[in-house]
């Protein structure tokens, strides 16, 4: 084979192998290898999955610690008309978790109560500062009333019915009925017959009265509706007063006055002689050195009044009578004061006195 043929054959083989060939016009041909680097497709990097952030639970208000300054009743609702669930001793630690709209009651943790909670009077619980706790309650769906002062709860719609107890100023009560004139309202009252009692409509702020059923003295519902005109309350009739079994050691009502709680007492009742209940006993504990006292009376008898603190009669109270008007009486701070009201003995027929005793703090 001619020499030129071998040269052509060598070049052809190099080209077929993918080599680049530089041909000099003169000299030796030096082959250069072409290196091909394959580029792999980029590896997909998995994105981090989106993890949903858990919703933050609604903050829970921490209980506020308080200390009782006297023995307290724990009630099912923020009212003295409510059921007593138990008692807490003086100087006990309580955990406050709520308060009523008026700030007169604290809701506390209490094992024996519904949902392990109960209500106590705020005036007798000391705290380091005003408790920052939720306000619980307010105007509900049913008719309610708020007492504007301390008032008697009676067994029927009138002052001639027995007193079942009292409710304090700012107590919220649930209304269940009214009398035909609308002057008396029936309320839920745990200590009353069938859990009911009656209060004078003049001493409460009520809502929804027009929706209440009219209830007779027998307890039967006799109708609904609100009378167009409300007649004045009936005057007391002369009759033997019902016995309330009170005494000096077990007064008909006992109120502790407080700057944050009750500052006044209004008590209405009857005494008679020689038949019926001839005497009543009222107790209050003042936080000031003086109080205002007044008696308002009607009837055909004479009412005598004695006021004492311990065994000592109070100066200035010896002239308290149905005709004396409003008196300023010196009292002992923090000491129970006893008021004894009694009908004068009658040698003739029945004598009866219907009275209202008012005692208020000097501000």
235-259 pLDDT, tens digit per residue, is 445 678 878 888 999 998 888 887 7
Supply the pLDDT for residue 7.
Answer: 52
Sign of CA dihedral 200, 163, 310, 334: negative
SS3 137: coil
Residue 281 near residue 340, CB atoms below 8 Å? yes
Residue 333 near residue 286, CB atoms below 8 Å? yes
Supply the pLDDT for residue 182.
Answer: 83
And the tokens for 99? Answer: 């308060």
Q: What is the DSSP letter of 210?
A: G
Supply the pLDDT for residue 103.
Answer: 76
Compute the distance between CA of residue 303 and CA of residue 210 in angstroms, rounded to an integer: 39
Supply the pLDDT for residue 94.
Answer: 96
Q: What is the DSSP letter of 135?
A: B
* Positions of the chain with pLDDT lower than 70, given as ranges: 1-60, 102, 137-142, 222-238, 260-262, 346, 363
Compute the distance between CA of residue 331 and CA of residue 291 in angstroms, rounded to an integer: 7
Compute the distance between CA of residue 165 and CA of residue 9 in angstroms, rounded to an integer: 130
Cβ neighbours of 11 (radius 10 Å): 15
* Contacts of 230 by beta carbon, 8 Å cutoff, 6+ apart: 181, 182, 183
Supply the pLDDT for residue 23.
Answer: 44
Residue 343 near residue 351, CB atoms below 8 Å? yes
């Amino acid at each position: 084979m001619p020499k030129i043929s071998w040269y052509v054959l060598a070049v052809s083989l190099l080209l077929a192998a993918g080599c680049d060939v530089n041909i000099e016009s003169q000299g030796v041909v030096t082959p250069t290898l072409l290196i091909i680097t394959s580029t792999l497709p980029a590896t997909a990097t998995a994105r981090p999955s989106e993890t949903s952030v858990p919703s933050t639970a609604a903050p829970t208000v921490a209980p506020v610690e308080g200390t009782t300054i006297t023995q307290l009743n724990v009630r099912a609702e923020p009212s003295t008309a409510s059921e007593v669930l138990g008692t807490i001793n003086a100087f006990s630690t309580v955990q406050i978790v709520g308060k009523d709209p008026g700030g007169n009651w604290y809701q506390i943790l209490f094992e024996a109560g519904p949902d392990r909670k109960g209500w106590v009077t705020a005036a007798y619980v000391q705290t380091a500062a005003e408790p920052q706790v939720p306000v619980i309650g307010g105007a509900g769906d049913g008719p309610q009333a708020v007492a504007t002062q301390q008032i008697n709860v009676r067994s029927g719609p009138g002052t001639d019915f027995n007193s079942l107890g009292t409710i304090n100023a700012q107590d919220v009560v649930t209304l269940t009925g009214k009398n035909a004139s609308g002057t008396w309202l029936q309320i839920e009252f745990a200590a009353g017959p069938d859990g009911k009692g009656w209060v004078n409509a003049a001493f409460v702020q009520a809502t929804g009265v027009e929706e209440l059923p009219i209830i007779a003295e027998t307890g039967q519902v006799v109708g609904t509706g609100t009378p167009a005109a409300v007649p004045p309350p009936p005057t007391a009739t002369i009759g033997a007063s019902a016995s309330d079994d009170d005494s000096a050691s077990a007064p008909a009502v006992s109120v502790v006055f407080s700057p944050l709680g009750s500052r006044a007492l209004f008590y209405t009742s009857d005494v008679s002689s020689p038949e019926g209940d001839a005497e009543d006993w009222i107790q209050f504990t003042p936080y000031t050195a003086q109080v205002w006292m007044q008696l308002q009376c009607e009837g055909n008898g004479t009412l005598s009044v004695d006021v004492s603190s311990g065994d000592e009669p109070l100066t200035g109270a010896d002239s308290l009578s149905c005709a004396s008007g409003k008196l300023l009486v010196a009292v002992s701070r923090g000491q129970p004061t006893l008021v004894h009201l009694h009908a004068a003995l009658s040698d003739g027929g029945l004598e009866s006195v219907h009275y209202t005793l008012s005692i208020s703090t000097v501000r």
